[in-house]
Amino acid sequence: MRNAMATMLLLSAAPLLAQDQPGEAWLELPEVWPEVGQAYVVNLHLNTGAQEPDTLQMHLNFDTAVLQLAFSAATGFPPVFTNPDLALGGSLTAAGTTDLQAVHPGENPGQINILRAGGSGDAWDLSGDIDMLQITFHPQSTVPTQITGEITVLRDASLVEIGAPAVIAATIGIPPIEDLAEDILAGFDAADANGDDALTLAEVQTLIPQLTADQFAAIDSDTSGGLSLAEINGAAGPAGEGEGEGEGDNNTNGCPFPKGATTFADFLNWLAQFLFIGMAATVLWKRRTPLS
């Protein structure tokens, strides 16, 4: 049986829906941005498809300069680990399952080790999307940071590997306005419920639930209460140019400018080049034309 190494994919900071592929572990994020001094609770899910998991070994990685978590304490032998910031997820609690071990070791800050030993043929009586673990982070900054990870073992009671084990990386933090504008551009048509070519705060929040009124106002340059494609493109900066209506064409006044000629200075430069090329062509043509 091969050792299943996790593929890490980047997803946005918006709350995530259950992943489609068995074997994927993913993080459900709150519908608010993190704040320094405020607990930030995320839930770790595991999609097992139709199989019931028996053996699990995985870990999550996070940046301790941005996110902090209490270290786990061990008591007794064999050791039992406790941690006020790590709790069983809703699915395990509802099923009365308590044999998942999650540890944030003091000797390895920034890593959460998650283990279910298995091997006895007594798999969890759970399948599908399993809410496994609740993690309470304590943000030290709102700079965007990724939580990544790896699944090394994920098998059912018959030792059959479950799906394609992978940890779907998640980004926690407040992205810059430019990045928010890019995300809004990407979902503009889907969010424009009434088809008026402008997005209200409520419509934008169907794309980015955490978006605040202040962030909306930073993009709403004309304070109309609706974000037009022009405003969103402007907030997105160079990355947003060419998106939305008139994609790839900066000429909005009907003049035969080349792409990128958006100012009068651009036009004069283009005109000079056009005249120079025309004069050069005329000279060459006259030289090639025999005298009568």
17-26, 111-120, 182-191: range with lowest mean pLDDT: 17-26
pLDDT tens-digit map of 65-102:
999 999 999 999 888 999 999 999 999 999 999 999 99
pLDDT tens-digit map of 202-233:
999 999 999 999 999 999 999 999 999 999 99
Residues forming beta bridges with residue 102, ordered by sequence position: 114
DSSP assignment, residue 291? P
Query: What pLDDT is stored for residue 271 in this prediction?
Result: 63
Report the distance separating Cα 234 and Cα 228, nearest Å.
Answer: 10
Percent of the chain predicted with pLDDT > 90: 70
Q: Which fold has domain 9-172?
A: Immunoglobulin-like (2.60.40)
Confidence class for position 126, pLDDT limits 50, 70, 90: very high
Query: What pLDDT is stored for residue 120 in this prediction?
Result: 80
114 touches 147 (CB < 8 A): no
Mean pLDDT of the chain: 84
Integer CA distances (angstroms), 274 to 250, 271, 285, in order = 19, 5, 17
Taking 60 as the threshold, does the pLDDT of residue 47 lie above it?
A: yes
Query: What pLDDT is stored for residue 14 in this prediction?
Result: 44
Q: Which fold has domain 177-248?
A: Recoverin; domain 1 (1.10.238)
Topology agreement, domain 9-172 and domain 177-248 = no
Taking 60 as the threshold, does the pLDDT of residue 262 lie above it?
A: no
Query: What pLDDT is stored for residue 123 in this prediction?
Result: 94
Both tokens of 148, joined, read: 């990544």
pLDDT tens-digit map of 150-165:
999 999 999 999 999 9
Query: What pLDDT is stored for residue 119 in this prediction?
Result: 82
pTM of the predicted protein model? 0.71
Residue 290 contacts by C-beta under 8 Å, 6 or more apart in sequence? none
Residue 251 contacts by C-beta under 8 Å, 6 or more apart in sequence? 257, 259, 261, 262
14-18, 59-63, 169-173: range with lowest mean pLDDT: 14-18
Confidence class for position 121, pLDDT limits 50, 70, 90: confident
Map out the domains of the chain as residue ranges: 9-172, 177-248
3-class DSSP state for residue 68? strand
Percent of the chain predicted with pLDDT > 70: 75
Confidence class for position 237, pLDDT limits 50, 70, 90: confident
